[in-house]
């Protein structure tokens, strides 16, 4: 099991693995590759992480926690002047454009979907925390939404779809049109 995040060596390991995953994918790197990339001895690496899955989970946790923390801080700063348009604009921007690790996100989701049940369960837990934070924002910004949890799930689905399109290099969707459509769905009383 991994030790708590916080040391310089651990930060170095996570940064190196993020880079390796983005360049090679998860399946094609080993603990030996990670030790070489970080210039740490295998013993030092093993002290912090006994498995590659533990490293990948810490990357997932770091990634989602950073996104969630930025979002919560932003939401707190704009509590009084928040409009549905601005809320959606920031959600999509932070979720996709500032998600500069889009390839990493796709590799991790792929790994969770394929055959790694432990990693999948740990990812689902973190992802659920992110959805709860989105739901809380939806409640504040879209008071007429009948099911804020479903609306938050819709936002996550849109963000994930936009990330996939970004990674594939597809033409960008007109963000203002998307925001107008989602806003209409969020303020509808019927």
CATH code for the domain in which residue 74 is found: 1.10.357
Evaluate whether residue 52 is within a structural domain: no
Q: What SS3 state is found at 93?
A: helix
In whole angstroms, what is the distance from residue 132 CA to residue 10 CA? Answer: 28
Q: Round to whole Å and give the CA distance between 13 and 159.
A: 28
Percent of the chain that is helix, strand, coil (3-state, to 5): 75, 0, 25
CA-closest candidate to residue 63, choices 30, 135, 24, 112: 112
What residues make up the domain containing 119? 59-187
Count Cβ atoms below 10 Å from residue 3 Cβ, excluding itself. 13
Q: Does residue 46 fall inside a structural domain?
A: no
Which pLDDT score, from 0 to 100, does residue 179 have? 86
The answer to whether the beta carbons of residues 1 and 51 sit under 8 Å apart is: no
Q: With beta carbons less than 8 A apart as the criterion, state whether 38 and 91 touch.
A: no
Q: Is residue 10 included in any domain, yes or no?
A: no
* Residue-level pLDDT at 169: 84
**Residue 90: what pLDDT?**
78
User: What pLDDT score was predicted for residue 95?
Assistant: 67
pLDDT of residue 6: 53
In this structure, is residue 171 part of a structural domain?
Answer: yes
How many domains in the chain?
1
Look at residue 38 and tell me if it is in a domain.
no
Residue 15 lies in a domain: no
For residue 168, tell me if it sits in a domain.
yes
pLDDT at 187: 66
Q: Is the pTM of this model over 0.75?
A: no
Residues 6+ apart with CB under 8 A from 50: 1, 2
Is residue 137 included in any domain, yes or no? yes
In order along the chain (190 residues), what is the average pLDDT of each group of 10 residues? Answer: 63 88 79 89 88 84 79 78 80 66 71 78 86 87 86 87 83 85 71
- Residue 44 is predicted with a pLDDT of 87
């Amino acid at each position: 099991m991994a030790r708590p995040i916080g040391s310089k060596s651990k930060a170095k390991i996570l940064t190196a693995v993020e880079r390796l995953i983005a360049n090679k994918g998860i399946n094609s790197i080993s603990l030996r590759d990670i030790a070489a990339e970080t210039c740490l001895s295998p013993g030092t690496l093993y002290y912090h992480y006994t498995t590659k899955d533990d490293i990948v989970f810490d990357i997932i946790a770091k990634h989602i926690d950073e996104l969630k923390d930025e979002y919560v801080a932003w939401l707190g700063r704009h509590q009084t002047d928040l409009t549905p348009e601005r809320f959606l604009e920031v959600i999509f921007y932070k979720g996709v454009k500032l998600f500069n690790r889009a390839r990493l996100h796709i590799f991790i989701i792929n790994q969770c979907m394929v055959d790694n049940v432990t990693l999948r369960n740990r990812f689902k837990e973190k992802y659920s925390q992110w959805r709860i934070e989105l739901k809380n924002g939806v409640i504040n910004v879209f008071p007429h939404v009948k099911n804020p949890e479903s609306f938050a799930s819709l936002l996550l689905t849109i963000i994930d779809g936009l990330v996939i399109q970004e990674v594939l290099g597809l033409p960008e969707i007109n963000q203002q049109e998307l925001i107008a459509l989602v806003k209409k769905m969020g303020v509808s009383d019927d």
